[in-house]
Each structure stands twice: as C-alpha cells, then as structure tokens.
Amino acid sequence: MAEIFQTVEQLIKDIETAQPDSIEAIEQFRIKYVGSKNIIKPLSKEIRNIPNEQRKDFGQLLNKAKKAAESKFQHLKDSLESGVEEAEGEELDLSAPPMPIPLGSRHPVSITMNRIIDIFSRIGFIVAEEREIEDDWHNFTAMNTPEDHPARDMQDTYYLKDSTSMLLRTHTSSVQARVMTTQKPPIRIIAPGRVYRNETISARSHCQFHQVEGLYIDKDVSFADLKQTLLYFAQEMYGAETKIRLRPSYFPFTEPSAEMDVSCFICDAKGCNVCKYTGWVEILGCGMVDPQVLENCGIDSKEYTGFAFGMGIERQAMMLYDINDIRLLFENDVRFLKQFQSAL
C-alpha cells in the first residue's frame, strides 16, 4: 500500500520542481497535470484498494497533488501574461561582461587649441570668448582698418545677407575691441575661436578656421614683454630648445608689427618640406597695440600700452600631427578623428 502513497508523493515533487521554460512546455505541463486527461485523476480509482483507515489520508494526498498542479499552472500562466520583461529577465546573465561603450576622442584642432590655452593660462591670461557674427566696427573700424582697406573687400569677408555692416568675423582681433570697450586695464586675455574668410578651399586653405588671439594692456608694457611672452609660449609648445625670430611686418592695428617664426621642430632646423628648407616656420602675427586702437576703444593711450598677437590653429595642428590636407580637419571622418587622443 505504501507504494501508491509514494507514487503520489513523487508526483507532487515532480509538479513542484517542474520548470517548463517555453509556451509549449507549459502546455505540456497543463495537459499532463491539469487537463481533462491528467495523470492525477485515474489515481483516485485506486482508493478502493486502500484499507479503510488509510483512505482519508490518501484522499487528502491526492487533493494536495491536484492543488499543487493547479496552483503551479496558475503561476506559470501568470508569469507568461505578466509580460515579456519577466521572461527576458529570466534570461539576463548578470555575470556577462558589458558591451563596450565606444569612446570619442578630441578633435586635433581642439587638442592644439587647449594646449595653447593651457600654456597662456599658466602666466595669467584669461580666456575671453566672443561672437562669431560681428559688426563692422568691432571687426574692422575699431581695429584701424579704414573703409577702403582691401581686407574689407566683399571677396574676403562674408557679409550677412542684405547687410553691409554685419559679417562673420575674419579674425579674433574683433575680441580685442569687445574686451577693451567693456573692461578696464590691466587686461590680459586670450581669445580662441572660429573665423571665416571667403577663400577658395584647397589642401592649404579653408573658408573657416580657428585662431587664438592674445591681448595684454597695462602701464609700461613693452616690446620686450611681448618677445619674452612669445618665447615662453614657443618653448612650452615646441620644446625647450626652440628658437624664435621676429620679422618686421604690417597690421593696421599694431605698430610696430611683426611675424614670428619658430625654429623647425620637425627637422631640428636642418631643412625639410614643412619649413620649405629654411629651418623656420611662421606661427603668428603680433605687435604693440596701435595707440589709435586704444583710443578707439576708450583707453587712454598716454597711460597705457599693450601688445597683441594672433595665431592660426589649423596649421599648427597640421604640423604637430603631420596632417597634409586642411580639409581633413573639417570633414569629420571618424576613421581620421579616432586616431587622436589627449588628456587636454
């Protein structure tokens, strides 16, 4: 007799431990344990072979099996209906390594610009950022560029549609005028940003590029201060052995004006195609702020003097990273961009 009890007991165990994991398997479970032809039902016929005193126990055990099957099936049905999330949740492997997140990298122009900003901020220059859409006065007039100056020519400057005074700034020198008209000396700023010129796009020039402007105004600022500041910059940027040379030049807003070359860091000034076999590479334009520019912007030129410089970023980035076509810097091809990594 114990045998039939064991059979039912085993059945209950089977029901409780069953783990049907698909819709088909749950259906099989239903047919086997709860359907109209389930395997529990016929067991009740066995009751006649059981001694009277054990019939009650057997009946209860059978009932237990029936209840176990029904509640298990109900539970399986509920979890199916409660949605896909739970079904998916069951398959989630929490120990699996995560999908790699592709990391971006900084643009070579940003890396170069940040290096320049970092170098000047170490000697007290503060970043000043200004608008790219400028008016004629800040971009030209205040900077001593008279109305008939060729730099204003429609072929060089992008004017806004139907406007003769609003334009895309052609240099970051417009920030000099913005700062001088709103701040009192001492002024010591660097102004990084995008500039625009109507130029034919080629491997060497583009209609948009970046500059960093520097401006220092205080009492008794001299050309020697300018030279020392630029020497410090060149050696921080291109190495402690770097030499600089200043060549006389002309800009409407500085007097005297100069262009600065650094000794070619690619060939150690021995001569290569970057320095065109001269040993020198031109990096920036600079000079003492023309007293007229100070006056234009409301600064007393008898009390104050200053120096200014402006440098292009793209050309320096191209030299630093050996890039031979400026257009690569504006095409945003990820295969090109992902080669650059920097902490700055």
Residues binding ligand PHE (CB under 6 A) = 171, 173, 213, 251, 254, 285-287, 308-310
What is the residue type of 8? V
Least spacing, CB of residue 287 vs ligand PHE, in Å: 5
Tokens of 238: 């291109």
Half-sphere CA count of 129, side-chain side, radius 13 A: 4
As measured in angstroms, the least distance from the Cβ of 337 to ligand PHE is: 26
Kindly state the helix (H) or strand (E) to which residue 255 belongs, with its residue range: strand 254-263
CB of 307 to ligand PHE, least distance (A): 8
**Residue 333 structure tokens:** 């091809």
Q: Do residues 248 and 183 touch, judged by C-beta distance below 8 A?
A: no
The residue among 185 and 312 lying less far from ligand PHE, judged by its C-beta, is 312
Q: What is the DSSP string of 152-178?
A: G-TTTS-BPTT-SSEEE-SSTHHHHHH
> Which lies closer to ligand PHE via its Cβ, residue 64 or residue 194?
194
CA-to-CA distance for 293 and 217, rounded, in angstroms? Answer: 12
Q: Which is nearer to ligand PHE, 304 or 309 (CB)?
A: 309
- The closest of 54, 284, 38 to 173, measured between CA atoms, is 284
Which is closer to ligand PHE, CB of 31 or CB of 123? 123
> C-alpha distances in angstroms, 32 versus 40, 170, 205, 339?
9, 84, 80, 63
DSSP state of 54: H
**Of 78 and 156, CB closest to ligand PHE:** 156
- For residue 339, the minimal CB distance to ligand PHE (Å) is 29
Q: Kindly state the smallest distance separating residue 286's Cβ from ligand PHE, in Å.
A: 5
Q: How far apart are CA 135 and CA 170, in angstroms?
A: 11
User: Quick one: 144 or 173, whose CB is closer to ligand PHE?
Assistant: 173
Question: Is the peptide bond prior to 42 cis by the omega test (within 30 degrees of 0)?
Answer: no
Residue 110 CB, shortest distance to ligand PHE, in Å, is 20
Q: How far is the CB of 299 from ligand PHE (least distance, A)?
A: 16
Q: Which is nearer to ligand PHE, 229 or 254 (CB)?
A: 254
Position of minimal CB gap to ligand PHE: 310
Joined together, the tokens standing for residue 13 give 């165990």
